Amino acid sequence: MCAIIDANAVHEVFGDENHEAGLQFRRWIYSGRGRLVVGGRLTAELSRASVKFRHWVTTVQSQGKILRKPDDTVNQREMELTDEGCCQSDDPHIIALAQVSGARLLYSNDKSLQQDFKNKDLINNPRGKVYTTNESRGNFSSGHKKLLARRDLCQSISD
């Protein structure tokens, strides 16, 4: 399964704050059941947001735990989404990455991005799902566990 992490949540997974939900998300990636998708503007945002993330990418790149999509492809789709004005959030680059990569799981605490990601007109087949700690205060809930157990949250798009 493929997932995208928003810069506003990267510290929960790769930071010093030991949120249980973030730790379980990271374990899910290390287990091989999940892969993190990056590309376009998000790659730079994540690198700026977390030094630990930058080091992690270097370490796991050859282990298949991360999927890099071409920046130019993601950036082109972002420009199209911006021109269409179809996103409520200020994160069309994340919606573009999901559309280009097929990732259907998003770890984010941005409510307007969450609405965009769950919008069937933007993310469909399968619909986007959101992994968030807005209500759980960092605790690992049964909802988090169910999301990480799913196997259908990556649309079939070739690497």
Question: Tokens 């590309």 appear where?
Answer: 39
Angle at alpha carbon of residue 91, lines to 32 and 157, rounded to 5°: 40
* pLDDT tens profile 77-132: 999 999 999 999 999 999 999 999 999 999 999 999 999 999 999 999 899 999 99
pLDDT computed for residue 32 by the predictor? 87
Distance CA 130, CA 106 (A): 5
Distance CA 17, CA 69 (A): 28
CA 29, 48, 4, 135 dihedral sign is positive
CB 4 within 8 A of CB 106: yes
Average pLDDT over the chain, rounded to an integer: 91
Residue position matching structure tokens 């965009």: 116
- Mean pLDDT within 48-62: 86
Report the range of poorest mean pLDDT among 25-29, 47-51, 81-85.
Answer: 47-51
The set of residues, in sequence order, having a beta carbon less than 8 Å from that of 153 and lying 6+ positions away, is 1, 2, 3, 103, 104, 105, 126, 129, 147
pTM to 2 decimal places: 0.92
